Structure 1
Amino acid sequence: MSASPNATVSARRPEHNPLNIFKKCAAESRPAFICGPMVRYSKLPFRELVRHFKADIVYTPMILAREFVRNDIARLSDFTTNEDDRCVIVQVGANNETDLLRFVEMIHPYVDAIGLNCGCPIKEQVREGIGAALMTEPEKVARMVQAVKEKYGSKVLIETKIRIHKDLNETVRFVQMVEAAGVDWITVHGRTKTTRSSQPADFEAIRLVKESVSCPVVANGDCFSLADAYEIGEKTGCDGVMAVRGILANPSMFAGYDKTTWGAVEVFWDLASAYGLPFRITQHHLSVMLEKVLKREVVKQMNDTKSLVELIDWFDDNFELRRRGEARFGESVEPAWRVRREEMARI
């Protein structure tokens, strides 16, 4: 299902409302587990995969509002969904009220909330006045949030995702301004727009944000395991913890596994095949997922395959890759190596 005016979609259910999810997780004495937006890699198959392994809230990749509104091809390529794609947050890149409102009008029936990107540091995005460019324009962001809330009220939830400023007083001013405009929750990446990912996230700064507003706050940065999620939640007091690099490498992480399970590989293959994920994206997902599972030379063999058919043949030649409907599909933790005929002869 794509975001077409002629498509039909069921009403969103209260249990998929992110605000209700925050409350439910708090009642379970834990933060909400969130899979953040990733350029090219937060597509429908991956979103469904991480939900299979306990993610509560999942984001789409960032979609440029202006292109989505104007271009039919962009709509079809940027966003697909189905009835199981819940709770899903669509992240949008926009820098004015008109583009944002047009985008929201087209997409809001198909998602559980809209996330406004105010933190992406990629230079091309900043030059376009979106992403981290908005960090210096809290008044503009507040007007955009207010425009959505004035038109839709509680019918449409809106989040802002930011990075911290070097002067944390600016961060506090920013979040208090967007909260006053009606934002439903705020996600904070604990780095500035120039801080390298190799530098640790500033959880004290995120805690300061949490203490400065009354709306829910999500912590983003340095979450690579379930233990990290609980620790970050404790350090920041936040309502949710977002993983990005960590969950890309290990989509099983929120289910408590320290590396990608073989069952996750089988489920991913099933979803990628069913939904038609492009070969190079499929290959990249598997390469990152298996980096800590298989030896480097084995991963290199996989990366040397040149087509989807060659890639699936490589898996079937080397492993027991169960299909949906087969016994123990999606359940194995360790790779199921296939014993080759010549190896069998030596046994």
Structure 2
Amino acid sequence: METLEATGSPLTPLELFQSKELVTVAAPMVRYSKLAFRTLVRQYNCDLCFTPMIVSDSFNKSDKARHSDFTTSKGDRPLIVQFAASNAEDLVQAASLVAPYSSGVDLNCGCPQRWALQEGYGACLIHQPERVADMITRTRAAVNNQHFSVSVKIRIHNDTRKTVSLCRQLEAAGASFLTVHGRTVDQRTSPVDLEAVRDIVDAVSVPVIANGDIRSMEDARIVQQQTGVKGVMAARGLLANPALFAGHDLTPLSCVRDWVCSSISTGTHFTNFHHHLIYMLDKQLSRAERRYFNSLGSIVGVTEFLKEKYNLQL
């Protein structure tokens, strides 16, 4: 975690919701929502970025974990730091640590991975509304900054009425906004339940962000029209096209060039650098080209391919 002088953003998360018709959000993605990628998507009309999910317990206990898990910069605002936590004490401590260097914290109540559920993190928490409400209330009280947001990201229940009840409890507990992935814990590829998202929007007064199946600005507008959400969050759509929120259907070459240049200048690890390009170029390369590109093992090999294929000047 870099030691930075706390810097204010022109707009806090809540000011974004108040001033913009539709807030565009980069999802918390393990391994991928890091500083270099957040910097890239901000260049292409992404309003609000989340860090990858950070396990609060290890973050609180280890200085090494803090430096490894959380890196930011003065321009990396507004920024929401997402934590996995199973109790209020861990969330409060983690939030207090990052408050000077971020715009808010988010509690992950949506991760469906087995390891997270076994540790009491993620989506299992949607079945413990009182516990989650207590975590939000205590975190809200601990961070003495009215502009600092405390939010929650959830998945929906099989019975939408339970989700609506949960969201009302979280609003009453002091949640600044809510992000709703419109699938249950067991659903992976099923269509997002926009009716459930709409029910939540109608039930609470805090801003709601819709997450799931946002792969274009047309998708974003349709979701907003059908649900009334104040924001849309993209994950896989942004990995495939970091310029999605700027209205591009495919990753433009300018975005590829920006990623290469910023990655090299910031010392991004090759694996992360390469994987992002694999996602960005997937729909633009033939099968043989993808197989070759995916096998490359050095920055020099990648840049030479891009120069030859696209005449990309780096």
Shorter-chain TM range is over 0.9
* Gapped regions of structure 2 (runs ≥ 5): none
Aligned counterpart for 2:71 among listed residues 80, 88, 96: 80
CA contact (8 A) 1:35 1:247 kept: yes
Could you list the structure 1 runs, at least 4 aligned residues long, displaced by more than 3 angstroms after superposition.
316-319
Larger Rg over CA atoms: 1
For 1:295-317, what per-residue CA distance to the aligned partner results, in whole angstroms no more than 9, with x for missing partners? 22112111111223332333334
Which amino acid counterpart does residue 219 of structure 1 have in structure 2?
A
Counterpart in 2 of 1:193?
185
CA contact (8 A) 2:156 2:182 kept: yes
2:82 aligned counterpart, secondary structure:
strand
Q: Which moved more, 1:302-311 or 1:60-69?
A: 302-311
RMSD: 1.3
2:201 aligned counterpart, secondary structure:
helix
Aligned counterpart for 1:270 among listed residues 252, 261, 284: 261
CA drift of 1:155 comes to 4.5
Residue 10 (structure 2) pairs with residue 19 (structure 1): no
CA drift of 1:38 comes to 0.6
CA distance 1:146–1:46, change in 2 (3 Å): same
Cα distance in 1 between the residues matched to 2:17 and 2:147: 18
Q: TM-score, normalised by structure 1?
A: 0.87
For 1:130-181, what per-residue CA distance to the aligned partner results, in whole angstroms no more than 9, with x for missing partners? 1011111110000000001122252431110001100111101110111100
CA drift of 1:293 comes to 1.5
1:180 aligned counterpart, secondary structure:
helix
2:53 aligned counterpart, secondary structure:
strand
Cα distance in 1 between the residues matched to 2:288 and 2:312: 20
Summarize the alignment of residues 1-347 of structure 1 with structure 2, pairs less than 5 Å apart. Answer: 2-3=1-2, 7-13=3-9, 15-26=10-21, 31-153=22-144, 154-196=146-188, 198-323=189-314
CA drift of 1:12 comes to 2.0
Cα distance in 1 between the residues matched to 2:80 and 2:23: 14
Cα distance in 2 between the residues matched to 1:270 and 1:95: 39
CA contact (8 A) 1:16 1:112 kept: no
CA distance 1:218–1:285, change in 2 (3 Å): same
Residue identity (%): 40
CA contact (8 A) 1:164 1:171 kept: yes
* Gapped regions of structure 1 (runs ≥ 5): 324-347
Counterpart in 2 of 1:342?
none
